[in-house]
Amino acid sequence: MAETALPTALCVLGLGLIGGSLVRAAGAHIPVFGWSPSEDTRRAAARDGCDVSDTVESALGRAAASDALVVLASPVTTFPDLLRTIDETAPTVRLTDVAGVKSVVEDDVAALAPQTRFIGSHPMAGTASSGWSAGSADVFAGAAWVTCLTDDSAVEDWAVVAALALAVGSRVVPADPSAHDAAVARISHLPHLLALALAQVGEGGGSLALALAASSFADGTRVAGTRPELIRAMCETNREELIGALDDALGLLGVARGSLASTGSLAKITEGGHRARHAFDHRGDELQPTTLRGDDMIEQLLAVGAAGGHVTGIARDGQGLAVQAWYPDEL
């Protein structure tokens, strides 16, 4: 086993928290260069030793010439313009992104830069701070990094993105784009909406309520402290899935309210919620190492992600690609 699938170089477009962190983390492994639409950011990054291009076109030209992996690391609303530029400047370049929603990006790429070798991805690293200066090489260590696969994906392209994610210390989780969006609506976007509502109900209780608030309120409202524009960018771009998750929560709370008002019992929601939290605490307990091989690799990778597993290594030998993964059972 040898020959990692790492890209020859990395071209990061957008040098905020995630892009800037990726520049720092990947720089230990491969040549990295980047670009930001902000001149201030370009200057700050260059001062810190980052290889910064002056224009997006020159960055993309370098990427095409060196077969670099291009990373869209700016807000998802800027992707259409960037994709049009890519389609004009470097139409067949390797491409990934780090946005928190995946179906819409998949659609944008298919429409605007269809020749790129694209694999969508989502490193689930902290986003409470922002900007180049907030970046750090270690934000990806131990975090899940979703890598998207569809029937049309090329496994070789996936391996390049996955190898990058592994190199910076992440657990690589293969997922269908829409399965990703449905999952993050439930475990990331909904928690933000509930925190925002809870904070307001607490505040509505006045100074006495806030003075008595302890850890259950502090924990339950922590992410309400995230900058409103960041919460909106995440949640509003995943509208359909978030509405579904929110309706599930409203349904459970509505049933609990009815039961509390009529019989006085909260048995159902307390038992169901306690069991669910137990399942969360013990997620991954049954995973064991396995090796994936063969022609149906995309199917196998998606099965690993859907089962709560993840990829830990990628290698190539005489029989082709061999992917090390943690999975609850033999595939």
| Residue 30 Cβ vs a second copy, minimum distance, rounded to whole Å | 26
- Our CB check for a second copy shows the closer of 215 and 319 to be 215
- Our CB check for a second copy shows the closer of 47 and 257 to be 257
Beta strand segments in the chain, E: 10-13, 32-35, 51-52, 69-72, 94-97, 117-118, 121-123, 144-148, 171-175, 288-292, 310-317, 320-327
| Residue 148 Cβ vs a second copy, minimum distance, rounded to whole Å | 12
For residue 223, what is the enclosing H or E element? Answer: none
- Our CB check for a second copy shows the closer of 89 and 259 to be 259
Cα distances (Å, whole numbers) of residue 15 to 38, 40, 43, 130, 141:
9, 11, 11, 10, 19
Cα distances (Å, whole numbers) of residue 181 to 50, 128, 234, 308:
32, 20, 11, 15
Distance CA 172, CA 315 (A): 14
| Residue 89 Cβ vs a second copy, minimum distance, rounded to whole Å | 31
- Our CB check for a second copy shows the closer of 99 and 175 to be 175
Contact 186, 243 (CB under 8 A): no
Please state the φ and ψ torsions of residue 7, each to the nearest 5 degrees.
Answer: -65, 155
| Residue 202 Cβ vs a second copy, minimum distance, rounded to whole Å | 5
Distance CA 330, CA 11 (A): 37
The two tokens of residue 138 are 């270690």
- Our CB check for a second copy shows the closer of 11 and 149 to be 149
The single-letter DSSP state of residue 315 is E
Sign of the Cα torsion 54, 60, 61, 65 reads positive
Contact 3, 12 (CB under 8 A): no
Largest CA distance in the chain: 70
The two tokens of residue 3 are 């020959």
| Residue 298 Cβ vs a second copy, minimum distance, rounded to whole Å | 16
| Residue 237 Cβ vs a second copy, minimum distance, rounded to whole Å | 9
- Our CB check for a second copy shows the closer of 157 and 176 to be 176
| Residue 86 Cβ vs a second copy, minimum distance, rounded to whole Å | 27
The single-letter DSSP state of residue 187 is I
| Residue 258 Cβ vs a second copy, minimum distance, rounded to whole Å | 10
- Our CB check for a second copy shows the closer of 216 and 319 to be 216
- Our CB check for a second copy shows the closer of 65 and 218 to be 218
